[in-house]
Structure 1
Amino acid sequence: MERIERHACFGGWQDVYQHHSVALNCTMKFAAYLPSDVIDKQYPVIYWLSGLTCNEQNFITKAGAQQFAAEHGVIIIAPDTSPRGEQVADDDAYDLGQGAGFYLNALMAPWRDHYNMYDYIVDELPTLVEAHLPANGKRAILGHSMGGYGALMIGLRNSERYCSISAFAPIVAPTQVPWGQKAFSAYLGEDKSLWARYDTISLLNEIQVTPPMLVDVGTHDPFYHDQLKPELFAEVCQRKCHDFTLNLREGYDHSYYFIASFIGEHIAFHARYLKN
């Protein structure tokens, strides 16, 4: 693990690291915000998962999260969204291939050799972070769009690992919308019984107790009706009596202007559970 960037920021450090990933069989980068340089102090970690076309840079340069991470004393880890490199399979479309890993383990050629983002986020990255950075073992997870879907899906499948889950504009029902159907067909094949393990709505129907969940969606999001469908999330959470909050933010869209407007509330939400 090699640090390739360091920037002083709100009394802490915004770093970027590079390492070889066993799960993805390629070189990966991830960003890490450390709230201070106090020796022998450890912090809880919030994992941020970005959306389609993003890498580790989008969140750290656009969301304005560092000031809130410093205020609450949390580390924020922001990995890339897919494996990268000349040897890694790709597609000309923005919503498949590099930049569009969908946080699952691919089963189909040519994707299965590298596209194991689920294993990377759940196992490999936290192991690396907790071995080399001042992390205390408590974790939360959040994300945006494809990453919001990833945060919900991973958090629900691994509720023992995460104190809380949140998302901006998540794809809550990937098996029912074009983005998810395209990705799942390519990465997992046409056997839809294999899709359910990665579908948030299916997981919410199966699970009896979830971590606390916070979801924000902008009412002017151009993907609201065709790709996001937050009403499906609300319906199953209400029916199953899950611990959730859904905020429909009037006038906001899908952009980082939306994320920057409410990222402070999300970090405060996670900090409450991480420090219990």
Structure 2
Amino acid sequence: MLIDSHVNLHAPQFDEDRDAVIARAREAGVGMMVEISDRLSTFEATHGLAMAHDDIWCTVGVHPHEARHYEGLSDDRLVDLAARPRVVGIGECGLDFHYDLSPREVQAEVFRVHVRAARRTGLPLVVHTREADDVMAGILKEEQAEGAFKFLMHCYTSGAELAELAAELGGWFSVSGIATFKAAEEVRAVIRGMPADRIIVETDCPYLAPTPHRGRRNEPAYIGRVLETLAEVRGWSREEALARTTDAFFNLFHTVPRPASA
């Protein structure tokens, strides 16, 4: 089953043709999508998409860019929202020291709140990390020592050392359209070393459209191109890549029922 593990269909870029985008994804063979929460102010829209479509599930969380607006966030609030139907993960959350749109110490504290919520609910944590390898490594080690939790290094483009640590801690990884970019050989080199049974694929739409769509709005219908690139990088057939990523997805998002067709 083709699964897009990270879509942002609530984004305003889809306001004019959201239903058509979802229809095109299905026509392209996409059997399931996970709609990602990036702030609680838009969670109702995110959750509404999951409730309206049998093939869409969702997460709840706050992106590090938005952390400055959620300094008082509690894990209780995330746990309460995560109890709603069709919520299958915590996040997107983490650290982004490239844009620094929120103070770094605030990003770290809000991230730890999400970790606690993931630990309490048992749901996987969707982790965003950019130019924050050392701090991210420290938090993951400290928090895993406090108690185990599942986590996904989403759209992974960080360094090999952090990838190795995340793999040792039991983390999953998702590959995006960045892997198709001509200049992304360092990203592809890290992909070659990821645990074969813990890799999934995503578009992160409307961002990061894969080649040959680069520079345009991304859509879930393009996830097949990401899968093909993953297969090429790992030396797998398309069928093997499809089987491996499907198994990895359901092992990570374990509360999503696995259809017989998958």
- Under a length normalisation based on structure 2, what TM-score does the superposition of the two structures give? 0.38
> Which structure dedicates a bigger proportion of its chain to strand?
1
> Which structure dedicates a bigger proportion of its chain to helix?
2
